[in-house]
A and B are shown apart, each in its own frame.
Chain A
Amino acid sequence: MVFSELIFIYAFLPLFFIFYFLSRNLTYKNIVLVIFSLVFYAWGEPVWVLLLIGSTLCDYFNGLFINKHFGTKIAKLGVAASLLVNLGLLAVFKYGAFFTETFNSLTGLALPVHELDLPIGISFYSFQSISYIVDVYRGKVKAQRSFLKFMMYISMFFQLVAGPIVCYDTIEKQIEHRDISSTNFSKGLIRFCIGLGKKVILANSLGALADEFLGKALPQSTLGAWFGVIMFALQIYYDFSGYSDMAIGMGRMAGFTFLENFNYPYISGSAREFWRRWHISLGSFFREYVYIPLGGNRRHKYLNLAVVWFLTGMWHGASWNFILWGCWFGILIILENLFLGNILEKIPKFLSVIYLLFAATLGWALFYFTDLSQLGVYLSAMFGEGSVKFIDELTKTAFLNNLFVIIIGVVFCTPIVPKIKSFFEAKPERVGVYATGQAIAACFVLILSSILLVGATNNPFLYFRF
């Protein structure tokens, strides 16, 4: 099930909250949340739900084991076992075919390649498990003694399949004490509706447009090629940040506070800043559990950066283009650390933003094409090489046919909403107006999205691939 499905919004979600709020104490609430989460997961993965439960059990016992032997060398065994299981599952399910193919092409052998279907969300929940295990080992958090609570942490359907990656320490307290209030419920619900709108109203339309241009064997024109990839940049932002909004919103309705995952990435002035604003939970994970353990800024910093960005790219998919994409950002960030950052700080802000937008847009072209030869054709069209025209009629028509969606898409990439919010929250008498406005906007977006969902048939989330 995905969040932008009518059956989710109007059947699953209401039923969940009815049972959740009818439950008198926390244990019942937790049971309801786990049951609904497993149903949610089994909806899409009727078989691999067992894998989810199995790997969770494994990490649960590893956590207890590490806790028991805390501070001794034996504790390392628990960490190793957990990493083996979680990374092993990722290696087999996500990268198995990729590794074999790469190995075959390097050695000239012809080992059989088994394409396995990637269990939904495995990239997200295995990272959550790893963060938990490492934090227990470091003594940052206590191991969770209740399997129910641990299962709930891993399987919560809000963030189970497409993030954000919720590190255990950020919600450790909320597992025991949840701040359930009408204000939280209200704000969470509004957030959910807005996220739904980002997905259904903006990402779906922009995505159809992007596919129209990127999906062709040959780009229609240079401007058309840029247009396509810019539409993709907007689509992936609204798609993914919309999903995160929905997750954070539902969490808030249930009394959880998840950390933000996006913070207007397209106003960044450097690649470093972009990654502090884009998919924040992933960046934090790699910083906390890869970059710093490798030595961080203190020891062979640039090697560490290279490793982190290689892995970040690879996390996004078992294909060379994702690795290229990660390396592209890795190179930019290394350059920014060396000298580029100083320059970017000195030039006017709008120039550094243009630099970032150019870099990110090029990045999205790498991200889109899993077929590298197609990528080559597309990139050369973007830079006016070959026989493509500069502009074609289709690009003009498509731009005009979707003009208002594009304008709205661009405007909401900027922090216009926080500006409006701070204006209204500056004076007490304006606060009611803002809340009312939000409620009206949420209702409007919910109705509009629902109608568009009836009108459409197919809108899978982009980030499900990962």
Chain B
Amino acid sequence: MNKKRKINLAYFWAMIAVTTLLVFVSLALALLPRPSESELENRELAAFPKFTVESYLDGSFTRDLTKWFADTVPLRDNLVELSGQIKELEGIRQDNVKFHGNVEIVKADDSDEIPEVIVTTAPPKAEIAEADTAVTEVLVTEAPAVTIPGLSETVTAPPAEDQTMEFDNNGIVTVGDRSFMLFGGSKSQGKYYADVLNAYKISLGENVNVYNMVVPTAVEFYLPAQYSDYSNSELTQIKNIYENLVGVTPIDAYSKLASHTGEDIYLKTDHHWSQLGAYYASTAFAEVLGETVQPITDFEAISRDGFVGSLYGYTNDIKIKESPEVFTYYKQPLPYTTEFFNYDTLTSRGFGQLIYEAAAVDNSYAMFIGMDAVHTHVVTENKNGKRLTVFKESFGNALIPELIPYFEEIYVIDIRFFGMNAIDYMKQKNITDVLFINNIFAANTQSLIKHIDDLRFGSVGVKTETIATTAETPVTTAPIVESVTAAETVVAETLPAETLPPETLPPESSPPAMPTLLSPE
């Protein structure tokens, strides 16, 4: 009996201990203020759902309530970081390597079937100038003749893949203090991309020069050799695109980057390149343009410490958080003005800074050209009569300041946000040169290529709607918006919290969001 009483007493105290903990945490969760956004992940947290009969009946109310409760836990960001530290204890890293997400062996897909060519109803008919295939030696070693008989305003149909399936992302790998996405590209997508660009050339006519720069990403240069099975060769895919171009001049950024891999041409904790990398790419463009390259020493280099980029949020890998890097940006010394416009109405938002230096440290890459969701117009003091349109995703942002010496005006169009007829717009602005600059992941993403194609007809004029309906989606650029509005000189009106088009968002239910390179910075 004595034993029994002893046991009961011991369990009584055990009960008090565990119950106290449970009650304490319950009260904390019930009473402490809840955050509404996460700095760590750069997104708005789930909102408290609105109760309606429909939302109850379809189950979304209780689902969203559950999500809200977990997503907005007090001290969330600290706990998520702590969770990352705990996760690190789950194992060890050999050679400092850790894989994140669904990584697989990618086979070079030479067998890719090129889908049938479907004639689209592109209005203008134009003679194509003899295809300019002056790709630099490194890129085209075995360049086949790119004269495609009968190629006119035709665009390869998107390969018959599931629309929701993204080829590009094959997981993320952390090697020491550098992380990057593994690449699983496809030749058919590359052909599609090239065909769309060719169609632009046809629509714009002989007098407009069309250039294409496809940018390799860090995985191409920094993946240890023993893991080469897990990432496709970006060079092969870039070559494939360049070989399929007709009348569009390729810009060999690859070789320039490849010869500077010892420098910080890519960010180590972010999926973007650095401005230095963009500078080297710009020299390839300048050479093709026949211009004297502006030396990097002309720029004012400014460094900021403690930058931790997007890949930490995507992987929650504490090693990334624990190795912040130096973010260096370069200010263009030549005089110029920058004006921002709304994409939907093309009304001016006022003049601003091309490089917004007050951007928060962890948002450093967002300092270039304001943000993706505004249309940027740069006027330089150069009077060479050349007016450039740049079609880009976020990789292009860091390139714009380096293009200033070579053009009189630069119109920057983000391919995800512009919704008007791009051909008409460029004709109206008397554009003389067009540059497509996309990273190889983007140039292999079907939904995005389709978007570029659609822009020829202006059939994507739905941006305002897209933005409005996706306002509650988690990926927003809200913090960037704040910083832009903070600059006195800039934007007159407050920018709405803009979001990416839905196709670039990961599916709602997918666990830790594995991004494409099109994610917001």
Contacts and interface: CB of A to CB of B under 8 A. Distances in A.
Interface string B72-83: 010010011011
A295 interface: no
Interface in A253-275: none
Interface string B30-64: 10000000000000000000000000111100100
Nearest to B70: A6
A7 B69 contact: yes
Q: Which of under 10, 10 to 19, 20 to 34, or 35 or more describes the interface residues of A?
A: 35 or more
Given A6-B70, A46-B56, A403 B91 contact: yes
A455 B84 contact: yes
B65 interface: yes
B21 A446 contact: yes
Contacts of A438: 14
A11 interface: yes
A436 B18 contact: no
A215 B509 contact: no
Contacts of B29: 6, 10-11
B25 A450 contact: yes
A47 B61 CA distance: 13
A14 B23 CA distance: 7
B70 A457 contact: yes
Nearest to A405: B90
Contacts of A396: 94
A5 to B, nearest CB: 6
A78 to B, nearest CB: 34
Identify whether the interface residues of A are mostly helix, strand, loop, or mixed: helix
Contacts of B59: 44-46
Given A401-B91, A431-B7, A46 B80 contact: no
A439 B18 CA distance: 6
A186 B11 contact: yes
Contacts of A402: 90-91
B6 A428 contact: yes
Contact of A436 (B10, B30, B58, B104): B10
Given A1-B66, A455-B79, A446 B22 contact: yes
A89 to B, nearest CB: 20
Contacts of A456: 83, 511-512
Interface stretch (A97-105, A187-195, A305-313): A187-195
B97 interface: yes
B103 interface: yes
A193 B7 contact: no
Interface of B is mostly: helix
A393 B8 CA distance: 53
B92 A403 contact: yes
B428 interface: no
B141 interface: no
Nearest to B9: A432
B299 to A, nearest CB: 40
A392 B19 CA distance: 47
B15 A401 contact: no
B17 to A, nearest CB: 5
Interface string A423-466: 00000100110111011101100111011111111100000000
Given A11-B30, A46-B62, A439-B13, A457 B102 contact: no
A443 B14 CA distance: 10
A401 B99 contact: yes
Contacts of B509: 458
Given A404-B90, A455-B84, A397 B98 contact: yes
Interface in B315-366: 316
Contacts of B84: 455
Interface string A93-124: 00000000000000000000000000000000
A205 interface: yes
Most buried by B among A45, A443, A455: A455
A212 B102 contact: yes
A39 B368 CA distance: 51
B6 A431 contact: yes
Interface residues of B, number: 63
Nearest to B3: A428
Contacts of B9: 432
Interface stretch (B131-139, B143-151, B226-234, B273-281): B226-234
B12 A182 contact: yes
Contacts of A13: 22
B94 A397 contact: yes
A446 B18 contact: yes
B99 A186 contact: no
Contacts of A452: 83, 86-87
A46 to B, nearest CB: 5
A155 interface: no
B2 interface: yes
A417 interface: no
A431 B71 CA distance: 41
B89 interface: yes
A401 B98 contact: yes
A155 B15 CA distance: 27
B176 to A, nearest CB: 14
Contact of A451 (B10, B19, B82, B316): B82
A185 interface: yes
Contact of A397 (B79, B89, B97, B512): B97
A190 B18 CA distance: 8
A4 B266 CA distance: 40
Nearest to A181: B8
A173 interface: no
A442 B18 contact: yes
Contact of A443 (B17, B30, B76, B230): B17
Contacts of A400: 91-94
Contacts of A447: 21
Nearest to B228: A393
A43 interface: yes
B99 A11 contact: no
Interface in A393-426: 393-394, 396-406
A170 interface: no
Closest 4 CB pairs of A and B: A455-B83, A435-B10, A439-B14, A186-B15
22 contacts: A14-B26, A44-B62, A46-B56, A46-B62, A181-B8, A185-B15, A189-B18, A189-B19, A218-B104, A394-B227, A394-B230, A396-B94, A401-B98, A431-B3, A431-B6, A436-B13, A440-B17, A443-B17, A446-B22, A452-B83, A454-B80, A458-B510
Given A186-B11, A186-B14, A452-B87, 14 more contacts: A6-B73, A10-B22, A13-B22, A181-B8, A189-B22, A218-B105, A393-B229, A400-B94, A403-B90, A439-B18, A446-B21, A448-B86, A451-B82, A455-B82
Interface of A: 1, 5-7, 9-11, 13-14, 42-47, 181-183, 185-187, 189-190, 193, 205, 208, 211-212, 215-218, 220, 392-394, 396-406, 428, 431-432, 434-436, 438-440, 442-443, 446-448, 450-458
Interface of B: 2-3, 6-15, 17-19, 21-23, 25-26, 29-30, 56-59, 62, 65-66, 69-71, 73, 76, 79-80, 82-84, 86-87, 89-94, 97-99, 102-105, 226-227, 229-230, 316, 509-512
